[in-house]
Structure 1
Amino acid sequence: MRMKVKAAVVNAVNGPYEFEELELQELQANEVIVKLVASGICHSDEALRVGDAEFPLPAVLGHEGAGIVEQVGAGVRDFQVGDQVVMAYNSCGTCPSCRTGHPSSCVSWTTLNMSGARADGSPIFKKLDGTPVSNFFTQSSFSTYTITNVNNLIKVDDDADLRLVGPLGCGFLTGAGTVVNGLQVKVGDSIVIFGTGAVGLGALMMAKVEGCATIIAVDIHDSRLDISKKLGATHTINSKTENLAERIADITNGVGVNFSIDTTGVSAVMKAAIDVLGIGGVTAPIAVTPNSMEMNSFMDLVLLNRSVKGILMGDAIPQLAIPKLIQLHKEGKFAFDQLVKFYDFEQINEASADSNSGVTIKPILLIDKTYRQNEPLPQ
């Protein structure tokens, strides 16, 4: 008998999350069933919900899930029932990119994570009337249970609190990985981070860990900039009330910065992230956005040996990076717990709205409230 689950379904572009009973399909050899404990909400979920990125609907979104292995497929060897896991993105594991340590550049990445189905085209979820429901990232964490691929999974220690660590699977991984793997900053470098949401602050915290001497946070909300200071920004700029170019010139003695990251996806801001670069500088526009930017390739890039670099998922290997981020958190060097707010699963529309408005930096949905119910929520 196939398992029935409770899931938050998006049935139409810009529609709300609607709770429905769905049916999990047959488990394949390289898959596991995960009982979700909690899931972060990411702006990528919102981009799909409102149609900024094309995706087949109806769908169960969510891609920052953490839970407990409930059942394993016949071919699974490295996981067993009861394991605590965080879920990230899927990759084939065998293409040249995967083999050389760049699974986010997997030749099948789009098919595995954005097609809404398994690699063979079959669905993971169906409605009770038989209608296929798309999955996201081969994960779909906005559900009480889900089927996911072993390549999505990161085993975490039993002392890890699954109510907290799910967002390490995308937002914080992307920010931190962009700094370490994509830009490969060095001790003493300078960096400007545009947008201080989860991705931007993940980048900011990792820039501090890596020894950047100048870390400039740019936002239009003073409250976010205050948080940035606490987490390691050496300078903050409110680009709504201050002259960005003048402030950057003043901070860097007129030479510009080595690196910049844009997490906003706003056309003018992506261009500004180029303009603040010094000679040989590199910018990474990493937001999921329908917007584009205009630039003059010679004046903006060639003349000053600048570069624009696309970096997906922080070019990170989740199975290596996420345990390191958990360890950094234990050491007080990656304090992402200061950025989260917990919501009941049934409050998903409220949590999504709070994320969109900026009220909450990183919402986390509590899906299984029996997990560690006698322990206080992580602070």
Structure 2
Amino acid sequence: MIPYGRQEITQHDVDAVVEVLQSDFLTQGPKVPLFEQTVANHVGVRFGVAVNSATSALHIACAALGLTEGDWLWTSPITFVASANCGLYCGAQIDFVDIDPATYNLCPLALERKLKQAEGEGRLPKVVVAVHLCGQSCDMEAIHRLAQRYQFHIIEDASHAIGGKYQSEFVGCGRYSDITVFSFHPVKIVTTGEGGMAVTNDPELAASMELLRSHGITRDPERMTHPPDGPWYYQQVNLGFNYRMTELQAALGVSQMARLDDFVARRHELAQRYERLLADLPITLPCQNPDTYSGFHLYVIRLRLKELNNSHRQVFESLRDQGIGVNLHYIPVHTQPYYAAMGFSPEDFPEAMRYYNEAIGLPMFHGLTIEQQDTVVGALKQALAQ
């Protein structure tokens, strides 16, 4: 089986982790701050807060922005459930904004229409989570312009997009958002096994997220409500969580970050080759906005079903039967039973449903060989011809 995504671990990565295993610190040592600074420096942002998953990063980002009961969080329906769940963790209500039919990201035009309506109904969002699907940035300038007008905060869910760019700057630089979140799951561009990071240019948000990831506890006298009793002293000044990243994970992340540019460049080579090899097939290839340089975490095609004899499911199953580990990112969140019980219906977001009924993610990872890619293309041609 050729998987849709896969980590690449070198001997240098292994050595970095072994070095930590032989050190004095397995957690709360020097590697986590080093990893935070490495990522922050690379993307051009001031602060990084490493945690045990991107879901945790989304949660503490929402909490740091003051999202709470009675507030609204809006996001894309085409994302992993965590992009919406993070709002529920804070007691907020959730709504969705339909996707752009070309990029599959949250559509700024749909967002503007929904904001105008919500303003009249008194239910404007406090936070909008803009998801950079497949690694391509949303139109952040347009979303930021709406944020200034309607006074909402922006979290970039860049779980797919580390190493990508928007308007020639790295995703995560913070020009158009309050906080950006990265994921380091094994199928992502850079891995720490499991792990995530929230980055920001705002020192208060960074300090708040640092507290929230570790029980709300501080040893900093300046952040305590009264002077410490002694050198052993700590205070819980907020209700936080145990979301810390380990030293082992951080060491792996630092090692992986040294190859980030190479990882993304190779994904672009593979994407360009897919584009050449698949150009004449009855499918829609990924559209790349000229303002973006995608991280290409995923390579998603859409079937032109009116030109095919096979259904979406038949093509998908044929590829799986031929040993191609295709996947579908994602089932629209609003159709999940938990969200459907809130009153959402599939027809609420028609572009998202059209995408779901046509999309297939082909294998895309740094170690994918030319021979494997040729096998994928051959299997797709066979699946489409049946």
Q: Give the TM-score normalised by structure 1.
A: 0.29
Which of the pair is proportionally richer in strand?
1
Per chain length, whose mean CA-contact separation is higher, i.e. which structure has more relative contact order (CA < 8 Å, sep 6+)? 2
> Which has the larger helix fraction?
2
Which is higher, the Rg of structure 1 or of structure 2?
2
